[in-house]
Amino acid sequence: MLASEFDAITVQQVLEKAKVGRSTFYSHFRNTDDLLLSDAERFFAMLESYFDRPGVAGRRVAPVAELLQHMREMRDFRRALERSGRSEPLFALITGLLERMIARRIAVLAPNEGPRAVPASVASRMFAGALVELLRWSIDRDATQSPAWVDARFHEVVWLGLGGVPA
């Protein structure tokens, strides 16, 4: 995607670059869009497994700093996605993946909080959407705040939103 527009990339080019056969490609993916989204899902699975290691996550509900750092490093790829018109489906997928991760983390970190004004499932979706927009804001403005700073501010908002439970 850095060398040519996404729409110009053919399955044949992918096959040649990956050195796999057509049947192998189609046994895993429907098309190049599916390949792109599957790659994002694999990245998030890897990120979540890292985030779940003892001592890594603490009281964080999402790996904000790690994700922001990755997005900053992949700035050229993100611009190529935007040019291709593929960024919105990718961000929709990311929002859903973050929603599930956040819901799971809230259940682990605050299981006995009692009834909330906003159910955890709704809060998780809201926090995921806010996080995606925060990441976009930070990248679009070449924000000078460190990923750790952005992570801390996001989690302050999360825990205040969940009823003031300290981060």
CB 136 within 8 A of CB 90: no
Q: Model's pTM, two decimal places? A: 0.81
Residue type, 43: F
127 φ/ψ angles, rounded to the nearest 5 degrees: -65, -40
The predicted structure's pLDDT at residue 17: 87
Task: Quote the strand ranges of the chain, DSSP E.
Answer: none
Residue 118 token pair: 């906003």
Q: Where are the domains of the chain?
A: 31-161
CB 22 within 8 A of CB 74: no
Walking along the chain (167 residues) 10 residues at a time, the average pLDDT comes out as: 73 89 91 85 89 89 93 84 84 93 90 69 93 89 84 93 66
